[in-house]
Structure 1
Amino acid sequence: MTQRMLHVALEVGEAEAPQAAYLLARHGVFSPEHSVLGIYNPANSSGQRYHDATRQARDKLIRLAAHYPQFPSAVTTPSEPPTLSQLHEINAWLDELVQVADQSRLKREEFERLLKNKTALIDDLAQFATLDIDLAQLARPKQFIQTLVGSVVESELAALMADLAQVGGIADIFGRQAGKVYLIVVCPQLRCLLSRSMLEKHGWHEIHLPAEFSGPPREVEFELKNLCQGITKRLENLEQEDRQKLSGIADRLAHAEKSVDLAEPYARLVGEAVTEPGGQLLIRGWIPRRNLKRLQTQLDKQLSGQYQLETRPPQAGERESVPTAMRYPTWLGPFAELVRGYGVPCYGDFDPTLFFMLSFTVMFGMMFGDVGHGLIIALAALALRGDAIRFRPLIVAAGISASGFGLLYGSVFGLEGVIEPLWIAPLSDPMRMIHAALLWGIGFLIATQLIMFYNRLAARSWRAALFDSGGIAGLLLYLGGVGAVYFTYTRQPGANVASAIAGCGFLMILIYHCARQTEPWPGRFFLSLMESLETVFNDFVNTLSFMRIAAFSISHVALAVAISTLSQEMGQAGQLVMLVFGNALILVLEGSIVAIQALRLEYYEGFSRYFTCFGREFQPLMSPQAERNKQD
């Protein structure tokens, strides 16, 4: 649920600023006020120098972490953020480590490159394994003949041999692999160009022998493998040296990393810390009201009264800049994620999470009402593992809702009549189902209208709350319109009164739009009339949109009946396969579609109406260690 916020202004001396910032980050309840970002911090200020030194140390630690994959835990850790001079000392020491690490890294990269090159040569040498000649002789220039090594596809071999004979050349096959034939071609030096042109015509792919191929293939392979073993040994020695270096500096390195962690909050706050006369710093931000007393207690304990803290509630013009802090029980978490997927409500606006949870599960159940399918969905949620487990409450709620409506519909695995319906059988009485869907839609839209009214009051938009389509006027228009249609359809008295109420609402909206328009008359009137008529049209379309609830509830039963009918036309084994496959199809495909449709109704018929202002989520200042723990 949305928490009430307070604006805080914490004034501390420059010496106490790092400790105060770390204290704020450690408790994770303070969100900096970004509106003053970077305005009062010249480049040569002590705060900016602290920020730069922290960033430099962090960058060096990241480079060292890439070289030394894991830092052992420090035996002793600092309890307070470092001073600026201590940060300079840390940076100087880290510079030395980075230089050593870079030298080791360059050596490792060179050895790895050599190893990769020699390994590739061994792979290339495999195709010459059947030869028992000095490979260097093939590559060495000759006076009267030209020796070429290469390959052609199997289908071109016969034609190549015939053409080669015409120019006085010969070829020897020394290998076949993957549809290719490997050849040594010998031709007269005088006809070398002609021979090459002829070979290329047949798709000849020449193989250039590297300088390392000097000697018979077996000897070359032996030498290359010895080289690889030597390079591997050097890499192992480098790793051993790195481990020895790390063991000698591990505690100090971990101590330095912890010091930079402690310095990080103040470095992040430099942009929001306003330098005041006398070397004082003013840190502004927002904090949930419920956390203020605990924060004050810790400030008294850590800063010994060397600070001033001023608090005030949010002001009227700060509605969009105040962060929205929301706390939910675990079971409401997945619903909150779906709400945040659309946006974060402005501070003070209605928090729709609980309303979303109730309406979403009800609509899913209405469209997918089935005792058997609902129980399978709920049980399947219990088998979720990993990151998906956070959606378990949502899926369980949807399954229970589907089972509940299945009892009301008398539907078990899509079959009506298995149990007596407690309310309505959608396939047997579709008109009643349509009426129920429309009635739900009317109730849903009335609720959204009330939420819009509340949000306009929260924004202190008094005129809009009374006269806009999202206020009292819009509510009168909708209630009157629904009443007029109902009384006319049922031929009951009251249609005239309902029409008068709707007319009053429409007139209020028309006058409100006319007052807001800047166009001259009569254009102002026609523009306002169009906007007011658009409200009537939207109310009508939004109401009809809920007929999809009836459509999907009926189609769910109809699809199950179709699968059951098809299964009866098959043998015993085929019947079982059809029933299992068909119900799985309903669960996965139709279940997904119904969930999307329910979410669509929430987003387009609900959120789009009352999300008139998008706020920013409360993101507290946190220490790097706390952020790492949160990610884990």
Structure 2
Amino acid sequence: MSIEKLSLVSIVGPVEQFDDAVSYIVTGSDIHLENALNVLEGNKALKPFEDENPYIGVLEKLRSIISTHHLVRGTSVKDENSYSADDADTLIQKIRSEKKTLTEEIRALEDKKAHNDEIIEQLKPLLEINVNLEDLLSFKFTALRFGKLPKASYAKLEEYLQELEAFFFKGSEDKDYVWGVYFTPRTLAEKVDRIFSSLYFERTIISNEASGTPKDAIFKLESENDELTAKITKAKKKLEEIYESHKAEIFGMLSLLEEKETVYKYRKFGAFAKNSFYIIGWANKKTIADLNKKVERHKDISLVIEDAKDVENYVTPPTLLKNNAFFKPFEFFVKMYGLPSYNEIDPTPLVALSYILMFGIMFGDLGQGAVLAIGGFLLYKFKKIDLAAIISLAGVSSMIFGCVFGSVFGYEDIINLPFTVHPMENIMPVLLATVSLGCVIITIAMIYNIANGIKTKKYGKVFFEQNGLAGLVFYWAVIIGIVLLFIKGINPFTVVYNTIFIVIPLILVFAKEPLTRFIRKKRPYLTGTKGEFVLENFFELFEIILSFVTNTVSFVRVGAFALNHVGMMGVVFVFSKMASGGASIVVVILGNMLVMGLEGLIVGIQVLRLEFYEIFSRFFEGSGREFRSAKKINA
């Protein structure tokens, strides 16, 4: 429940051992690295590592192969320290060459099969012609033409053939065409071809690769195609398995090159001068002990440790929040506003307790709170979402205040404990109680501010700010005075009381700038003219007094939402009474779901608003920078 104490560690060694030092000592350590050049900017001899990362391109190629071909890392991954970027490039080129060879082989086989299919299609209409094609195609004095003509033309063909020195052998036919072959002397071929063309004869060129009868030729070609299909299937299988066959090498190279690439990523933090390298970062005691053990095994490498207080003038420590399992989810809200600086107090415990408390008051219902608690717990257990843990804890608070308010899914006649208080029957007490709660929370926020001022040695902040001691005295002087006046009937606002507890604190707040500069021994005490100072601080003081009132009254909404919850559930029960039979139960169930979803969301946002505007604004600067472990550099 605090901010982790850190020390600045410097790792120094021979420049040629930089990669080894990073790989063994830094990688995987919870160390927040700083840019060594920035930390040691006074050392003019320091230079950055400017080598170009040789692993980026080849790693992108390997990752692309793995992603594109859906490769899954196996157990037999080769891991050789001899792997380099060139080895990976060689492997990739080898795989691509094998892929190209197989692709070309498949394309050639498919082209041959497609060519055979064309010949088969040419020969199918000639199946009924039982003559060797070689004999027909080898005639020297006789021309022959394979093809088809429309049936209407075939009906006229006999008349034409009586006047022509040609004859036609019919093959197969369908509903539109008749296939066949006609013969004519080569000397008359041109004339006969024109006549057949006028009859819409469509010639088919028979490949000289076909041999035997059309039936025999088709059988041979189909048999060849079966062999081609088997070869294509085998080649495609090899192509599919080409990446799987090299998977062990691919993942082995990926793992090793990723480690080497990480070393290069660390180079942007390191620096070197002459023969020595420098790596500088922040670490806690546990990490420093681990680093010491690692450095002891490297006799040429040294580890220098400096306390944060000794180096705060030239480097600011990052913030590493340290909270237990109960408070840790609420770091989510803190980081939404900003991280506390290294010397600030961690506000997470205050956020956690105040958020849970106010949510429970505003959404007090045993049944609905149980739903939130169980649902949030299950979501956090399986998804590890911080917001789900917050919802679960807020649900537990809702259950507790559901018992206090006597509400179970909106029913107020089930629970009747000795401490049960029904909000609608105690409107003013509820509202006054929540305003009182606001006073306590604002006071705690002011105490946090004073503590932060003491830690950072900003004594003007401690004594003279509106959220310092002067503001705290004024705030509680007014509260105590009002309580005594209206509850006890005692008027404490005497001249002495007003002077000591109201006027003097306001004067201190009014003069905080010159008083702060006086404490710090900074001249001049006023940065502007006296007139500007009086005018600006007068209106600022007026705003401060007004903000105390508005901030306190703002907590009325906590009680208002407690009343609002009862009102909304009352509306649900009105509608349920208007329904009949089983519909009434459905209305109650749906109404509860609507209230849990709508009001739960609104209440969550309103409580967060109170945290940010009424509490955080009083003490939390949020100017810290997050501790980023070296483990996450690759993340």
TM-score by length of structure 1 reads 0.70
* Contact 2:464 2:512 (8 Å CA) reproduced: yes
**Which residue of structure 2 aligns with residue 457 of structure 1?**
454
Could you tell me how far 1:104 is from its partner in structure 2?
A: 9.5
Separation of aligned partners in 2, 1:69 and 1:349: 49
- Specify whether residues 564 and 405 from structure 1 end up closer, same or farther in structure 2 by C-alpha distance, changes over 3 A only: same
Describe the shift of the 1:419–1:73 C-alpha distance in structure 2 as closer, same or farther (beyond 3 A): closer
Paired residue for 1:568, among 572, 577, 602? 577
The residue aligned with 1:500 is 500
Q: Assess, with a 3 A threshold, how the Cα gap between structure 1 residues 273 and 383 changes in structure 2: closer, same or farther.
A: closer
User: Conserved in 2, the CA contact under 8 Å of 1:320 and 1:346?
Assistant: no
State the secondary structure of the residue aligned to 1:311.
strand
Alpha-carbon shift at residue 528 of structure 1 (Å): 1.6
- Aligned AA (1:313): D
2:307 counterpart residue number: 313
Residue aligning to 2:241: 243
1:387 is aligned to 2:389: no
| Map of 2:56 onto structure 1 | 55
Alpha-carbon distance in structure 1 between the residues aligned to 2:581 and 2:314: 67
**2:319 equivalent to 1:324:** yes
Deviation at 1:500, TM superposition (A): 3.4
Distance (whole Å) between structure 1 residues aligned to residue 343 and residue 561 of structure 2: 37
- Helix, strand or coil for the counterpart of 1:53? coil
Q: Displacement, 1:539? A: 1.4
Alpha-carbon offset, residue 330 of structure 1: 3.8
Q: Is the 8 A contact 1:288 1:325 kept in 2?
A: no
Aligned counterpart, 1:12: 13
Q: Do the aligned partners of residues 245 and 582 (structure 1) sit closer, same or farther apart at CA in structure 2, a change above 3 Å counting?
A: closer
The offset of 1:617, in angstroms, is 1.2
Contact 2:76–2:248, Cα closer than 8 Å, also in 1: yes
The 1:289/1:239 distance shift into structure 2, 3 A limit, reads: farther
Q: Tell me how far 1:430 sits from its aligned partner.
A: 0.6
Matches within 5 A, 1:304-453: 305-315=299-309, 317=312, 321-384=316-379, 386-387=382-383, 390-420=386-416, 422=419, 424-453=421-450
CA separation in 1, counterparts of 2:540 and 2:369? 44
**In 1, are the aligned partners of 2:465 and 2:512 still within 8 Å (CA)?**
yes
Aligned 8 A contact 1:31 1:618 in 2: yes
- Secondary structure in 2 matching 1:8: strand
In the alignment, residue 527 of structure 1 is paired with which amino acid? E
Q: Distance in 2 between matches of 1:48 and 1:100?
A: 35
1:244-301 CA-to-partner distances (Å, cap 9, x unmatched) read: 2541x43333332222222233212212212122x21011111112321122112223
AA aligned opposite 1:16: Q
Q: Could you say which residue in structure 2 is the equivalent of 1:262?
A: 259
Distance across 2 between alignment mates of 1:433 and 1:271: 59
Per the TM alignment, residue 338 of structure 1 is displaced from its structure 2 partner at its CA by 2.1
1:609 aligns to what?
618
Structure 1 match to 2:119: none
Q: Give the distance between the partners of 1:528 and 1:235, measured in 2 at CA.
A: 88
Q: Determine if contact 2:359/2:603 at 8 Å carries over to the other structure.
A: yes
Shift of 1:337: 1.5
Q: Structure 1 residue 492: deviation in Å?
A: 2.1
For each residue in 1:42-81, what CA deviation from the matched residue of structure 2 results, as whole angstroms up to 9, or x when unmatched?
Answer: 9xx89433x5223344334334434443254554435x7x
Q: State the match for 1:598 in structure 2.
A: 607
Q: Secondary structure at the match of 1:312?
A: strand
Match of 1:199 in 2: none
Deviations 1:509-555 (A, max 9, x none): 11113556522121211112222222211111111110001110011
- Residues 453, 462 of structure 2: 8 Å contact kept: yes
What is residue 226 of structure 1 aligned with on the other side? none
1:287 is the counterpart of 2:288 = no
Residue-by-residue CA offset, 1:401-448 (whole Å, 9 max, x unaligned): 111112222223334344335153211011001110100000110111
For the residue of structure 1 that corresponds to 2:629, the secondary structure is coil
Matched residue, 2:79: 77
User: Residues 318 and 418 from structure 1, CA distance in 2 versus in 1: closer, same or farther, beyond 3 angstroms?
Assistant: farther
Q: How does 1:530-541 map to 2 (within 5 A)?
A: 530-541=539-550
| Matching residue's letter, 2:512 | Y
Structure 1 residues 319 and 379: CA distance shift in structure 2, 3 A: farther
Letter of the structure 1 residue corresponding to residue 453 of structure 2: R
- How far apart, in 1, do the equivalents of 2:328 and 2:91 lie? 43
Amino acid at match of 2:251: A
**2:564 pairs with 1:555:** yes
My pick for the range that moved more, 456-465 or 429-438, is: 456-465
SS at match of 1:554: helix
Cα offset for 1:103?
6.5
Q: Distance in 2 between matches of 1:102 and 1:379?
A: 55
Contact 1:414 1:558 (8 Å CA) reproduced: no
Does the CA contact (< 8 Å) of 1:485 and 1:495 recur in 2? Answer: no
1:566 CA displacement: 2.9
Are 2:299 and 1:296 aligned?
no
Kept in 2: contact 1:368–1:552 (CA 8 A): yes
Q: Summarize the Cα distance change of 1:69–1:520 in structure 2 as closer, same or farther, 3 Å threshold.
A: same
Where structure 2 has 5 or more consecutive residues not aligned to the other structure, the ranges are 108-227, 518-525
Match in the other structure for 1:526: 535
Change (3 A) 1:67 1:105: farther
Other structure's SS at 1:275 match: strand
**Shift of residue 238, structure 1, vs aligned partner:** 5.7
Q: Assess if the C-alpha contact under 8 Å between 2:363 and 2:398 holds in 1.
A: yes
CA separation in 2, counterparts of 1:530 and 1:239? Answer: 83
Aligned: 1:542 with 2:545 = no
Map of 1:122 onto structure 2: none
Instruction: Provide the C-alpha distance between the structure 2 equivalents of 1:46 and 1:454, rounded to a whole number of angstroms.
Output: 41
Are the equivalent residues in 1 in contact too, given 2:49–2:271 (CA < 8 A)? no
Structure number with greater Rg is 2
After superposition, the Cα gap between the structure-2 partners of 1:336 and 1:464, relative to the gap in structure 1 and judged at 3 Å, is same
Q: CA deviation at 1:319?
A: 9.3
The residue matched to 1:16 in structure 2 has which SS? helix
Q: Is the 8 A contact 2:36 2:278 kept in 1?
A: no
Alpha-carbon deviations, 1:193-228, whole Å to 9, x = none?
A: xxxxxxxxxxxxxxxxxxxxxxxxxxxxxxxxxxxx
| Rounded Cα–Cα distance in structure 1 between residues aligned with 2:619 and 2:79 | 51
Alignment RMSD (CA, Å): 3.6
CA distance in 2, matches of 1:480, 1:565: 47
Alpha-carbon separation, structure 1, partners of 2:601 and 2:314: 37
Q: Specify which of 254, 267, 271 is matched with residue 274 of structure 1.
A: 271
- Of residues 97-106 and 483-492 in structure 1, the stretch that sits farther from structure 2 once superposed is 97-106
User: Structure 2 CA distance, aligned partners of 1:552 and 1:508?
Assistant: 38
Separation of aligned partners in 1, 2:102 and 2:539: 71
Q: Deviations over 1:345-366 (max 9, x none)?
A: 1112111112111111100111
Letter in 2 for 1:360: Y
C-alpha contact (below 8 Å) 1:416/1:557 kept by paired residues: no
Note the C-alpha offset of 1:101.
9.3
- Tell me the percent identity: 22
Structure 1 position 7, deviation (Å):
0.3
- Per the normalisation by structure 2, the TM-score is 0.70
Cα–Cα, structure 1 residues 495 and 97, in superposed 2: closer, same or farther, change >3 Å? Answer: farther
Q: Deviations over 1:464-489 (max 9, x none)?
A: 22212232222222222322332333
SS at match of 2:50: helix
Equivalent residues of 2:295, 2:303 under 8 A apart: no
Residue 36 of structure 1 is matched in structure 2 by 37
Letter in 1 for 2:62: L
Contact 1:11 1:280 in 2 (8 A): yes
